[in-house]
Amino acid sequence: MWATIAISGDAARGLALGQGSRHLPGPTRVLGFKMSRAPQLHFANSLGVMKFIFKLLGNDPRYERWRWQMFALTWLGYAGLYLTRKSFSIAKTGIGEGTEVGLLDSQMAWIDFGYLMAYAIGQFIWGITADRIGTRKVILSGMLVSILAGVMMGVSTLPLALGVFFFIQGLCQSTGWAPLTKNVSNFFSQRERGTIMGMWCTNYAIGGVVASALAAWAASRWGYQYAFFVPAGVLLCIWFLFVFFQRNRPEDVGLPSIEEYHGEKQNAGVETDSKPEHSWANIISVLKDPMVRMLAVVYFFLKPTRYAILFWGPVYITEKLGTRGETSGFMDGAIATLFELAGPLSVLIAGIVTDKVFGSRRMPVAVTCLLSLSVVLFLMDNLPANRLALGAGFFMIGILLYAPDSLISGTAAVDFGTRKGAGTAAGLINGFGSFGAVLGGTLPGLVKEQWGWDGIFHSLSISILIAGVLLLPQWNRLPESRNRPEAS
């Protein structure tokens, strides 16, 4: 016999209107208990009962579809931006000394420097802009100009032209992180944000690997120009997906806010939540927030290590193994990619642990990883010169670095900036971090000349230690703590 559910007429009308998802008016009888004049819904005969069940459990299928649609689109969008970001690094072998273009290493270094500076400056601009006008306009414009800049780099041969277009590329790339984290925050609440952002932050690790592979394949097949053309073409497809399927907020498609949907009480005492979402007052309030500023400073000290490993890791491994300049050195240098491959695993675990173990507190995981990473970096150059040991070392650095990186620049930025000021908070934090990235990409070469690789790793260890010590007093900090008297 099919199980039946009986509900009152008023309740049925409420469900039909999309109301009463948690509290049904009138009495309810389940599994065969009869109630006079109440319509009976049969599982076998009505697909609509599934919607009733979802509503009874607090899950609206339409709302859930939009949430995961936006998760997938924003993940793909940020990963997709790496397609045009990675093109120049792959194309360098085709435009360097001894080629038709013949760029000097010093010229390519200055082009990289211009890109990094543009990226850092753009973080401050686009985060605030996203809070003012919404993610959609910012990211669609950034993607489209990024595609055009990539194509223009593919047809350019003059150093000045390449520098100008890569500078523009840096500004376009910076439209990604802060606006898209804001977009995600509008569809996922604080209690689930650690887990969600842990999954979402796999985009820059996976995106970087895929982008490098695609550009390298295209360049090896048709020439270095196609390291620009093919990735730009793929990003154009992603751009069209954004045009048709992306929205800024649940309210834009007639749905309630995420706080209403989850029945969560908003932090009414938090200054940023009491102001209009797109107001300058809200943005200024976020910029003045002490915790947001603290996270920005911490990220400045964290980011140099990530970029030092990305830019100089392959060089270190080949020198340590004595294979630099040899054919086998290319494979040895690839050992450094274990650092990036550790990223997705690290951010996933970190996000889940902060939600499930520490009750949405991000700082315990971040501090523990930073202090542990400081020790690993200090001892790194003492590892034996063999591939297994070095691979394990780089993987461990990736595990300990990507977790606090994603928590500080993504999850905590949204937590403490609130979803209304998420773009501004993420932009400020990542802007400071990007200036740190400039140092991480350039200073190791200078430090190495004076103090060797040991000096580089010790310098990075000290920088990470400073970041960990700065965060240590915030161990139990939650955004809600700003509402309490002791936090005022």
pLDDT digits (tens, 9 = 90+) for 154-181: 999 899 999 999 999 999 999 998 899 8
Q: Which two tokens stand for residue 133?
A: 């006008």
Report the chain's mean pLDDT, rounded to a whole number: 80
Right CATH number for 279-483 from 3.40.605.10, 3.40.50.720, 1.20.1250.20, 1.10.760.10? 1.20.1250.20
**Structural element, H or E, at residue 7:** strand 4-7
Note whether 258 and 187 are within 8 A (CB): yes
**Which of 199-203, 263-267, 284-288, 410-414 has the highest average model confidence (pLDDT)?**
199-203
Percent of the chain with pLDDT over 90: 36
Q: Which two tokens stand for residue 257?
A: 């806010």
Q: Distance between CA 244 and CA 480 in Å, rounded?
A: 36
Count of H helices and E strands in the chain? 20, 3
pLDDT of 277 reads: 54
Q: Where are the domains of the chain?
A: 4-56, 65-255, 279-483
Instruction: Record the pTM.
Output: 0.74
Q: Distance between CA 206 and CA 420 in Å, rounded?
A: 28
Which SS3 state, helix, strand or coil, does residue 246 take?
Answer: coil
Q: Give whole-number Cα distances, 441 to 91, 303, 435, 438, 447, in Å.
A: 18, 10, 10, 5, 12
Top-tier CATH class for 65-255: mainly alpha
Q: Distance between CA 430 and CA 176 in Å, rounded?
A: 11
Q: What is the mean pLDDT of residues 38-46?
A: 43
pLDDT of 142 reads: 97
Q: How is residue 43 annotated by DSSP?
A: T
Q: Give whole-number Cα distances, 330 to 325, 326, 337, in Å.
A: 9, 8, 12
Q: Distance between CA 319 and CA 307 in Å, rounded?
A: 18
Angle subtended at Cα 353 by Cα 403 and Cα 397, rounded to the nearest 5 degrees = 25
Q: Could you please report the per-residue DSSP string of 47-83? A: THHHHHHHHHTT--HHHHHHHHHHHHHHHHHHHHHHH
Q: How confident is the model at residue 22 (pLDDT cuts 50, 70, 90)?
A: very low
Q: Note the pLDDT tens digit of each residue in 208-258.
A: 888 888 988 898 889 889 999 999 999 999 999 999 999 999 999 999 988
Q: Note the pLDDT tens digit of each residue in 296-323.
A: 999 999 999 998 888 788 778 878 887 7
Q: Distance between CA 150 and CA 17 in Å, rounded?
A: 49
pLDDT of 279 reads: 62
User: Position of tokens 């350019």?
Assistant: 156
Examine domains 65-255 and 279-483 and report if their fold is the same.
yes
Q: Note the pLDDT tens digit of each residue in 352-393.
A: 898 888 888 889 999 999 999 999 999 998 999 888 999 999
Is residue 184 over pLDDT 70? yes
pLDDT of 232 reads: 98
Q: Note the pLDDT tens digit of each residue in 76-85.
A: 999 999 999 9
Q: How confident is the model at residue 418 (pLDDT cuts 50, 70, 90)?
A: low
Q: Which two tokens stand for residue 273?
A: 């939540």
